[in-house]
Amino acid sequence: MLGPQLWVLGCHKVVTILTLEVHSSRGSGLSDGPGLGVQTAADRLAKDRIDEDLADVKASLGGDPAAFRRIVERYQGHVCRILWRFTRDLEVHAELVQEAFVQAYLSLNGFRAEAGLEHWLATVATRVGYRHWRQTARHKALAEIQACRQQWPPGPVEELGAAEAAELVHRLLARLSPRDRLVLTLRYLEGLSVQETSRRTGWTATMVKVQTLRARRRLEALLRSMEKETP
């Protein structure tokens, strides 16, 4: 099953950008049927994970370095996937992942159990990525514009493969402001709801809706202008 779709309207065509399934591990191994035993087992696993998280958070706050190392090992893949949305540079990506866990460690006393450690770490990672965008926006704007023009597909965009389309979207988003990039990434590439995006960013639900609408319009205008520039 494919993940979220990003629909962009421009020059009288609809461009469908297919991305990899987000958090593909969620639900894997669960039957589509009503299997009560399978669901109960999943519930037990989820509860065990929550108990492990809370125990490791408590131990980390008590000064046990091994406890936080277990948290890193448990959620490194999750944080890596989120921050891959913010850069395609492997070295920068590794630095952002490290920074996210450093920030998480320093902010651990602000963790609240009801939020869930996975969601809390996702929020930390998202804000680290957003800060990276804001810091690098001015320096990389011209380079991203040139790269995007050079890689604009000669044929119909609808015929792109998933990987090519995802890379094109990444470069298109790089031409938008950090706020626009963030809301479109969370809402469409990660497939988060308005409420989930609100929690991740700290914005109100109304702000998320307004920012999404404005960002989509800017992306549509960008696509139209780029297609006009393409011979």
Question: Each residue of 183-215: pLDDT tens digit?
Answer: 998 998 888 999 999 999 999 999 999 999 999
Q: Which residue has the higher pLDDT, 41 or 113?
A: 113
Identify the pLDDT of residue 231.
Answer: 55
Contact between 68 and 111 under an 8 Å Cβ cutoff? The reply is no
> How far apart, in whole angstroms, are the C-alpha atoms of residue 19 and residue 205?
25
Q: Which residue has the higher pLDDT, 102 or 139?
A: 102
> How far apart, in whole angstroms, are the C-alpha atoms of residue 193 and residue 191?
7
pLDDT at 5 over 70: no
Task: Collapse the DSSP code of 103 into the 3-class scheme (helix H, G, I; strand E, B; otherwise coil) and give the result.
Answer: helix
Q: Identify the band that residue 145 occupies on the pLDDT scale cut at 50, 70 and 90.
A: very low
Tokens of 177: 């402001």
Lowest mean pLDDT, pick from 13-27, 68-82, 147-161, 184-198: 13-27
Lowest mean pLDDT, pick from 133-137, 154-158, 177-181, 188-192: 154-158
Q: Please give the CATH number for the structural domain made up of 5-22+40-229.
A: 1.10.1740.10
Q: Which amino acid is at 125?
A: A
Rounded to two decimals, the pTM is 0.65
Average pLDDT over residues 110-118: 90
Tokens of 212: 């999404």
Lowest mean pLDDT, pick from 49-53, 109-113, 159-163, 227-231: 159-163
Q: Which residue has the higher pLDDT, 201 or 169?
A: 201
DSSP 165: H
